[in-house]
């Protein structure tokens, strides 16, 4: 059957009724059409890479590049195949690779002492006091300023830490191993809310709690874990997602499930009953306890995907309260940085944006792995903490599907018909769509020791992805394989 064109009548009607113009670009063009009596629909569009010419050419070279596509398939498969197992608790100096005796690890990309934000400097001072390297805060500050202590990112040592992210040599750390690949990740232990080292607090009560965690809680949990055996974290996290957690700011279900798993072993492991009761009581009163385990699990999954030549998959997003940094699987250990953004959200009474420090912490490793802000659809109650509505939470998750390599069906979302979380951030897609990864996070006071003053939503700076795509294009090379 041959093609039958529209009748002359229908074409005539089309022109009689006029045409609607789709305007892509400057809004003023559409406004002019409307003012002249025409019809116009404004299409919300911006040039890829934010209009950056160099990044635009780099993106054009990388889109559907066969070597990049193949590398991403490998990196993403490694991430999906990773099986994080909690295998033990140890002392940082003995477990964390490359941690020297006079070294303190911190969150985010590299930063010298004199450029650290207030909460991070306060946490460093607290760690020095905890280690016994100085007698008081003034002496600790002088020591930090002297150059006698080395400061390095936790990510450089297969580790992560929330907020300031501080890990010093004698602190206890979780040991999480990828059963499918053998790589390990480490994280410090969660202190609970209120005055905490991770927010820069370093008072005697903070140091005393850290000492108790090292001397009582860590040995108690280690004994219980030895009795229980290695604990699979991915199934526990998957179950917590279906119970309303998102793995970053809400860990109530995961903390409860962890305690449920461990208590029977704790009761029969032979550890001092008083100490074990204190440890269990502490965990039961701290809904955020599992966060540090969630972070270590995400770190070990993403490290399994790191180091695949030519891959544009993001394997780390982190911030130090001054700079926000990302790393790609295919660009080695290099950081791509931009100023840390301010978090927009809900503040505790008597606090507001003027009191807030810029975004801080390694906890955005959860978003990098497809949890946190990427899984908000499964945690509608989180909006009471970070702002917005349950519909916003679903919209945020849906939006992230446009910048990821796929869905992780190991982490399913009941509110979205049990589809997997969007995961595997592709730096190319971020730049092509101008959709920045979303992060839900706590807000720290800009001054050391005040603590958390709210929670909210922020976005990774697009500038980081612009740099990363340009760098990756230079490594991949412009000529394409036939």
Give me the helix-helix angle, 204-212 and 118-131, nearest 10°: 60
pTM of the model: 0.90
Structure tokens at 322: 């001054």
Rounded to whole angstroms, the Cα distance separating 102 from 99 reads: 8
Query: Which three-class secondary structure state does DSSP give residue 409?
Result: strand
Q: What local confidence, expressed as pLDDT, does residue 175 receive?
A: 98
* Comma-separated ranges of CATH 3.90.1700.10 domains in the chain: 66-79+305-476
* pLDDT mean by block of 10 residues, the chain; 482 residues: 47 53 64 69 68 88 95 98 98 98 97 96 97 98 97 98 97 98 97 91 96 98 97 98 95 97 96 97 96 98 98 98 98 97 89 92 98 94 81 94 98 96 98 96 87 90 97 80 40
pLDDT at 7: 47
Tell me what pLDDT residue 27 has. Answer: 63
Strand partners, 328: 314
Q: 455 by DSSP, 3-state: which?
A: strand
Contact criterion met (CB below 8 Å) for 18 and 33 = no
Q: Please report where in the chains the tokens 């036939």 appear, as a residue.
A: 482
CATH number of 84-295: 3.90.1710.10
Task: Give the alpha-carbon dihedral of 215, 216, 221, 222, to 10 degrees.
Answer: 40
Distances in whole angstroms, Cα of residue 233 to Cα of each of 75, 346, 368: 21, 31, 17
CATH 3.90.1710.10 in the chain, residues?
A: 84-295
Choosing among 3.50.50.60, 3.90.1700.10, 3.40.50.300, 2.60.40.10, the CATH entry for 66-79+305-476 is 3.90.1700.10
Token representation of residue 260: 């449920």
First to last CA, the chain: 40
Please give the full DSSP string across 313-357, using - where no structure is assigned. Answer: BEEEEEEESSEEEEEEGGGTT--EEEEPPPPEEEE-TT--GGGBP
pLDDT confidence of residue 416: 94
């Amino acid at each position: 059957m041959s093609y039958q064109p529209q009748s002359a009548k229908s074409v005539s009607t089309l022109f009689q009724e006029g045409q609607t113009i789709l305007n892509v670009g400057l809004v003023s063009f559409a406004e002019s059409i409307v003012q002249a009596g025409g019809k116009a629909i404004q299409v919300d569009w911006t040039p890829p890479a934010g209009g950056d010419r160099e990044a635009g050419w780099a993106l054009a070279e990388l889109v559907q590049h066969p070597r990049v596509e193949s590398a991403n398939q490998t990196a993403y498969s490694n991430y999906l195949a990773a099986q994080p197992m909690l295998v033990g608790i140890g002392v940082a100096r003995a477990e964390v690779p490359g941690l020297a005796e006079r070294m303190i690890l911190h969150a985010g990309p590299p930063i010298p002492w004199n450029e650290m934000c207030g909460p991070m400097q306060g946490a460093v001072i607290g760690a020095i006091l905890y280690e016994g390297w100085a007698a008081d805060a003034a002496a600790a500050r002088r020591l930090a300023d002297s150059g006698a202590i080395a400061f390095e990112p936790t990510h450089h040592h297969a580790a992560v830490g929330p907020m300031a992210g501080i890990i010093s040599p004698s602190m206890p750390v979780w040991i999480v191993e990828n059963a499918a690949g053998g790589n390990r990740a480490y994280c410090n232990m969660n202190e609970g809310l209120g005055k905490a080292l991770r927010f820069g607090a370093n008072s005697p009560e903070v140091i005393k709690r850290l000492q108790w965690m090292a001397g009582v809680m860590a040995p108690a949990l280690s004994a219980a874990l030895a009795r229980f055996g290695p604990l699979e974290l991915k199934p526990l996290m998957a179950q917590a997602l279906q119970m309303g957690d998102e793995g970053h700011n809400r860990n109530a279900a995961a903390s409860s499930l962890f305690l449920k798993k461990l208590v029977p072993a704790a009761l029969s492991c032979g550890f001092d009953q008083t100490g074990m009761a204190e440890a269990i009581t502490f965990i039961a009163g701290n809904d955020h306890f599992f966060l540090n385990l969630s972070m270590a699990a995400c770190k070990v999954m993403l490290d399994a995907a790191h180091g695949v030549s030519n891959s544009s998959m993001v394997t780390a997003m982190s911030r130090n309260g001054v700079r926000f940094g990302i790393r790609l699987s295919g660009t080695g250990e290099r950081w791509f940085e931009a100023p840390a953004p301010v978090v927009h959200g809900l503040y505790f009474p008597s606090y507001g944006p003027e009191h807030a420090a810029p975004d801080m912490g390694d906890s955005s490793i959860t978003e990098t792995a497809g949890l946190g802000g990427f899984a908000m659809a499964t945690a509608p109650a989180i909006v009471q903490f970070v702002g917005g509505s349950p519909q916003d939470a679903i919209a945020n998750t849906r939006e992230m599907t446009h910048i990821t390599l796929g869905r992780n069906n190991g982490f399913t979302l009941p509110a979205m018909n049990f589809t997997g979380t969007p995961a595997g951030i592709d730096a190319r897609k971020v730049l092509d769509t101008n959709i920045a990864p979303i992060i839900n996070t706590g807000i720290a006071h800009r001054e050391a020791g005040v603590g958390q003053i709210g929670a909210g939503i922020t976005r990774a700076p697009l500038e980081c992805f612009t740099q990363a795509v340009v760098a990756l294009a230079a490594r991949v090379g412009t000529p394409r394989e036939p």
